[in-house]
Amino acid sequence: MNEIEKKFQSIGVVPVIKLNNPERDAIPLAKALIAGGVPAAEVTFRAAGAATAIKLMHDNFPEMCVGAGTVLTTAQVDEAMAAGAEFIVTPGMDPEIVAYCQKVGIAIFPGCSTPTDYHTAYKFGLEVVKFFPAEQSGGIAKIKAMSAPFPMFKVMPTGGINLKNLADYIKNPVIAACGGSYMVTADLIDNGKWDEITELCKKSVEIVKEARNG
Ligand code: 3PG
């Protein structure tokens, strides 16, 4: 595992963030995540100001592991890296983007949900893949079934994960970390509910600890 993968594994959850107003929200949001014990952010390119948000978080909080999500083009990889992103997440398995990330030297987590996706990831020598959309694709049962032919992967499921089902994923050793937007919803961010975000992060960290120790 590379350093980013180790960090994800130790934190256990990775917030998937869409920021419509990065100048206003990126810094208080990063503070709220750090206070909750979750110094990580996958800032998605679903909102126009993603690169600005990545730069603000990266420059102001060196302890944070900040990367870009919903990356669909190699141009966005460049944009994310210029802003300081330490990793790239794509919703699907795009060999062109994986090859490009490996060429320019940034960690890449492609979205995989089929044996064909895993096989492609295997050929690239990846060790950790995103499993997306997790709940809708069969959840932990499918992840376990995929681990039979592909035991070499650790998996980061995202999609439909929340405080209720987090433990079910985390207690399986194949899971590196879970991604989710439940602790950074539009309602929480747009209304500046930073304390609630911190609380949701703290609860998540507790669940991760319990699930791994139990
Ligand atoms: C992602 O891009 O990883 C997902 O959209 C996050 O899924 P969630 O909103 O169901 O947590």
Cis geometry, peptide bond prior to residue 95 (ω within 30 degrees of 0): no
DSSP secondary structure code for residue 175 in this structure: B
Q: In ligand 1, which atom is closest to the CA atom of 42?
A: 3
The answer to whether residue 42 is catalytic is yes
- Atom of ligand 1 minimally distant from the CA of 161: 11
pLDDT in tens, the chain (214 residues): 789 889 999 999 999 999 999 999 999 999 999 999 999 999 999 999 999 999 999 999 999 999 999 999 999 999 999 999 999 999 999 999 999 999 999 999 999 999 999 999 999 999 999 999 999 999 999 999 999 999 999 999 999 999 999 999 999 999 999 999 999 999 999 999 999 999 999 999 999 999 998 7
CB contact at 8 A, 23 and 51: no
Best probe residue, ligand 1, of 70, 155, 181, 200 (max atoms within 8 Å of C-beta):
181
Does the annotation mark 127 as catalytic? no
136: its two tokens = 């809708």
Which one of 7, 18, 55, 130 is the catalytic residue?
130
**Which pTM was predicted?**
0.96
